[in-house]
Structure 1
């Protein structure tokens, strides 16, 4: 499990990371880092970017905060405090061992380097906690591969007013920590050929609706010029005129990529704009104007097609954003006032009309209805709701007017958390994506240097004409662009995560998507996962009294008990209008039942062992009935006195109506081992196992025993997923290769702790999740092998002089469009 991004280490760190809001912001913007040398890396969000010699700055004056790594006891904190108090210019030091946090205050001359050096001498490492409050999120248009994102990052990091920047190609998001105005950031992004806009609440729902038609006019115009020049070259058109047509076409289509290439080179990035621009300019230099113009035109066309296709994947987020209305009707006295949801407070009362979407999470005060919760949970059948039930923003009120008391602000609603989690998931790199990026970062410079060598050395040593070898080198330059390869994985992951979110399943990142695709064994907690987790009366069998009298005695006995089964009997009696009798001398019999005196007679309610201990004569038919019920997995409560058995009541935790179909669906998608974990006895477990048709079960388990069961499955060679409620089953969820929580809607803990969350309180969407994950893995493999095969074929065709420049660029941009379209198929995967 360590080789898949240290899933469980991340879980262990969750509490610590949530101890500071600053750290939460830092994690969103990108983690800080410090080198052993004590110097902040160029990608670090240390507070040294805008001050000379690493001087510490903060919104609190000459103070700074750090996360300390390596402390293993409180004495370590004391050691650090004593060492730093001796450093010149440090005025105050506080080390919080539980939070692993260091706070330093000092004179203006105090530097980050000094603090870091002193702490590292003691064997610890420091990580600065973000002090800046100018972190903003932007939406960037025009990126068509990961190298574009890298170029933007490198360009902005060179600005002294930018402290940190992270650009996520897959979501089109950019987070920047900067002191200069927003307009300056927009202008800098525009310089390198992309369009940025501030990601505010006002434009969140509109930014993705706009079609990216920019550039079509120029592409059509330059394509017409190339066609005119090509036809003219076969109809005695003067060479100067055809060259001029090609040159105008190159400038028209190539202005943007050449401009982007200039800033990429300036920021020491070797992206596709650099390679394509070099190829086009080189072609013009050796007189291949048609080739150069065609390269630029195909490249520009490919970019537009890629952008249009990628926007389809990003719509998985924008569609979620559009679910909740931006305004709501507030009840103020006898008046109704329409307000933006941002202005509505907790405990305000909102009115929901039939057919309207619910704008905020809340609790129904008045009214009855059916709510279509499909946008949140993926459930196809509306859920009946009455006063006291919870409702979620983005769901649809099918019929009936409702008065709802708001329980969460707009930024805290379930749909807002889903959007946030999905965006974070899409920004995280899966192991395959990280490997491909690393491969591309090695492949591109090697092929680039090889292209230069091909251009220079063969003609230099007399092995042919300069023009021929430069042409081959230019073709090699185009092939050096790894766009299709780099784009193959993230687009597939974004598409799959978006599809899952639309169907009520939260996959926390590409790592977990990949894990789900290789799972072949799933363990289920029984109570509350396979079953409803709510005991119900199954059978009532009176022997010496009527059913009404039996229930009345049982009601009286159990009314003082807090046991779940007792509560079930009491509620059943209340629902059927059974009257409570006068009782006295109530006594709980630990592990066996209860007793009380009713109408002068001592009655008992409990299990078979209780009545055997009382030496009450159990008739064969009574004992047989009890044993049959127990074999069926039911819990039996016997009611009687010292003289006779009055009757028996059986209680059962019923299977969810979706369980059997869901488990059948899992077998159909290739899950080989379905395992049930339960604390119930062997008989009950066996009965449930037969009903659900699981492959095996583990009974009589305590929570720690469930961990042992998971480890046993792993030792047998299985990749194991554990399905539970995300709270009680936390140890087993953490031990499994993949933790899946169900019932995430309204349950913050489940949404935070599990790797995958089924928003509905049933297993209905689990087969779809496994199917989608496996399809995603297959498509990723297809894309990677296709991208590599295209490159290999192009490389082999260069030296026989069969590969032209326009064919090379077509192989690159064409392959990129094909892998995107292939990944888009994941958006269409259905149950």
Structure 2
């Protein structure tokens, strides 16, 4: 027997949660089919298939029988690549649901004309129009019943329409079918709008690139680019794939990818992302990822996977809806039978009201309430550099009680920076410049930070003669114009000459602040001190304040030494647990988890175990492979403030879900009461169902316009 292999199909015409449930139920009945995931928001079906037991052809036939159109993986990919062109490939009237609206509307108008010209034929005219109109839906209802979904929306509508014809209300039956077809079309339009977030991401990547080969530049398709190819990116062009700048300098607008609105300066060696926009200088870029594996493609893939996964609340609603529809049919039957049998009510009156109850009970609005909000929340997050891998993570983020942060590379920049320069001989500029001259060719992080600080201050760095010599753990020495100068540890300086008490006190004070102190010694003379520390990110304090304002506790969990960690924690005003080995960090997360859901924020590399142990793992990482693959969420802009935005987005999504449920249940409850009191007609009942679905969808789409507050540092 062959092993099961993954199969993914694009499904056209699947526009609501009920559609997804029907397909999922049908697939569960097939042998050799497992791990079924259906997403109406993404319009996809993913499963594991053993083709020895069930063929792909059989699956596609089942989907067509239910009234949907399956597309193979290759066709779906081609359609996605051609998204802009395909939007206008056919006239609007060629859409199947548009044609159904025109057909049902045309039949009703024709029946009206015939009935007006020949009044004696009124009942027959409307009955024929209603029967012809309901046939496509009845056919889908029967197919659904054979595939395990006897209580579908089409079943409720078909029974109500046929019942109305039977009791002499053919005119209303025809109106009901017409309005139902309009409702389906509105659902399609709403679903298409929700999917535009993914299409917009795909459209960020240009279709062609200027590839440089053998000294000549040629225009090629982006799909033809290979790793190592050199492309020319002119001012105003979008970068065709991920890579590194090898020549030229410019500013690049990365907002389409990370949401960062400020252009980023790019020099040779800098990384660039597919879809970002070159601003003012020509760049030559060496491609590091093929089109199918660049940042945009990975984000699209992960957002689609996230939409396919169901949030816990969505699973609850799905399970409830399986019992809701048959329950609604029982209630409708009781409405028909009880008043006439128990209280002598008029049969025709209560049959009519029972049929109206059936139409009101359609579960579309309820089933769509959660996935529509989740899909909008995920798309909004992706557009703002907040990549969330599924509805479960999005839902959990709104419930977290504590956020634990790693220190290095998360709350801090991940590299040392010069914080203090103390001149004992000459000026601070002289001390820093001479130290930079000694460290000019070093690869040591402290030396590199000193050189960077001198460049930032535009200092005139003297020339070093000959190569520098290093004594590991102590100092680096080089000959400058007037003397040999050493940059080393305080211990090295003390070996050259005893340190004065005030100098030793200064060194101790700086080290108490978690800083590393290096000395600048010329001969045996201590010329100055330079203090360095991995400083907090510029937005770290603002990000922590935002979390505390939201009622969330914050703590730093780090393996770094206690003195350094406590100094950073004091500066940022948060609790700290330092010198934690990996096992101890996991134990601390487990302890905090007992108090409620916890999020762990790390750099996505050495924090992987902690990210996995938390309720939600959040990776910092500017679009890197690790950041996109390690945790349940990734902050593409590398901002601590975005953690609070994740929580805010989740809470807004959860609030939207409860609003949708209230709209769906509340509107149906009101119309159920008006129906029982004889105030609701059949066409009003179907409008109530369609109206609830449209309101729920429109409310979910509000999340696409959600505006996050600007970061505190820009306020």
Q: Give the superposition deviation at 1:597.
A: 10
Q: Name the structure 2 match of 1:789.
A: 666
In 1, distance between residues paired with 2:616 and 2:603?
14
Q: Name the structure 1 match of 2:76.
A: 200
Compared CA separation, residues 576 and 436, structure 1 to 2 (3 A):
farther
Is contact 1:145-1:487 (8 Å) kept? yes
1:250 maps to 2:121: no
Compared CA separation, residues 778 and 445, structure 1 to 2 (3 A):
same
Q: Name the structure 1 match of 2:711.
A: none
Q: Name the structure 2 match of 1:534.
A: 415
Q: Give the superposition deviation at 1:431.
A: 0.4
When the two chains are superposed, the root-mean-square deviation of aligned CA atoms in Å is 3.8
Q: Give the superposition deviation at 1:627.
A: 3.8
TM-score (norm: length of structure 2): 0.85
Q: Name the structure 2 match of 1:737.
A: 615
Q: Give the superposition deviation at 1:764.
A: 4.5
Q: Name the structure 2 match of 1:442.
A: 323
Is contact 2:361-2:689 (8 Å) kept? no
Once structures 1 and 2 are overlaid, which stretch shifts more, 735-744 or 368-377?
735-744
1:524 maps to 2:405: yes
Residues 167-186 of structure 1: matches in 2 within 5 Å?
167-175=38-46
In 2, distance between residues paired with 1:321 and 1:752?
20
1:727 maps to 2:605: yes
In 1, distance between residues paired with 2:437 and 2:217?
49
Q: Name the structure 2 match of 1:710.
A: 589
Q: Give the superposition deviation at 1:441.
A: 0.8
* Equivalent of 2:182 in 301, 306, 330: 301
Partner of 1:779, secondary structure, is helix
Count of aligned pairs between the two proteins: 692
Compared CA separation, residues 640 and 353, structure 1 to 2 (3 A):
closer
Q: Give the superposition deviation at 1:202.
A: 2.7
Is contact 2:468-2:476 (8 Å) kept? no
Q: Give the superposition deviation at 1:498.
A: 0.6
In 2, distance between residues paired with 1:398 and 1:562?
32
Q: Name the structure 1 match of 2:353.
A: 472
Q: Could you list the per-position Cα deviations for residues 309-353 of structure 1 after superposition, in whole angstroms to 9, with x for gaps in the alignment? A: 121111111111111112222222233322222222221222222
In 2, distance between residues paired with 1:373 and 1:751?
17
Is contact 2:328-2:361 (8 Å) kept? yes
Residues 674-689 of structure 1: matches in 2 within 5 Å?
674-679=554-559, 684-689=564-569
In 2, distance between residues paired with 1:366 and 1:662?
36
Q: Name the structure 2 match of 1:422.
A: 303
In 1, distance between residues paired with 2:611 and 2:320?
33
Q: Which runs of 5+ in 1 are unaligned?
A: 1-55, 59-128
Compared CA separation, residues 808 and 573, structure 1 to 2 (3 A):
closer
Is contact 1:223-1:249 (8 Å) kept? no
Q: Give the superposition deviation at 1:799.
A: 3.5
Q: Give the superposition deviation at 1:640.
A: 4.5
Residues 335-414 of structure 1: matches in 2 within 5 Å?
335-414=216-295
Q: Name the structure 2 match of 1:811.
A: 688
Q: Give the superposition deviation at 1:827.
A: 0.3
In 2, distance between residues paired with 1:552 and 1:380?
35
Compared CA separation, residues 561 and 707, structure 1 to 2 (3 A):
farther
Q: Could you list the per-position Cα deviations for residues 71-95 of structure 1 after superposition, in whole angstroms to 9, with x for gaps in the alignment? A: xxxxxxxxxxxxxxxxxxxxxxxxx
In 2, distance between residues paired with 1:209 and 1:429?
28
Q: Give the superposition deviation at 1:277.
A: 0.7
Is contact 2:476-2:486 (8 Å) kept? yes
Higher share of residues assigned helix: 2
Q: Name the structure 2 match of 1:50.
A: none
Q: Give the superposition deviation at 1:462.
A: 8.7
Partner of 1:200, secondary structure, is helix
Q: Name the structure 2 match of 1:263.
A: 143
Once structures 1 and 2 are overlaid, which stretch shifts more, 567-576 or 269-278?
567-576
Q: Could you list the per-position Cα deviations for residues 574-616 of structure 1 after superposition, in whole angstroms to 9, with x for gaps in the alignment? A: 9964444679995435xxx44879899999765556667x595
Once structures 1 and 2 are overlaid, which stretch shifts more, 347-356 or 215-224?
215-224
Once structures 1 and 2 are overlaid, which stretch shifts more, 515-524 or 158-167?
158-167
In 1, distance between residues paired with 2:171 and 2:468?
103
Q: Give the superposition deviation at 1:249.
A: 4.3
Partner of 1:760, secondary structure, is coil
Partner of 2:472, secondary structure, is strand
Is contact 1:212-1:308 (8 Å) kept? no
In 2, distance between residues paired with 1:632 and 1:232?
92
Q: Name the structure 2 match of 1:321.
A: 202
Compared CA separation, residues 583 and 545, structure 1 to 2 (3 A):
farther
* Equivalent of 2:101 in 211, 216, 219: 219
Q: Could you list the per-position Cα deviations for residues 695-720 of structure 1 after superposition, in whole angstroms to 9, with x for gaps in the alignment? A: 433344444444344344434x2532
Q: Could you list the per-position Cα deviations for residues 400-428 of structure 1 after superposition, in whole angstroms to 9, with x for gaps in the alignment? A: 22222221111111111111000000010
In 2, distance between residues paired with 1:153 and 1:344?
38
In 1, distance between residues paired with 2:639 and 2:203?
26
Q: Which runs of 5+ in 2 are unaligned?
A: 709-715
* Equivalent of 2:162 in 251, 271, 281: 281
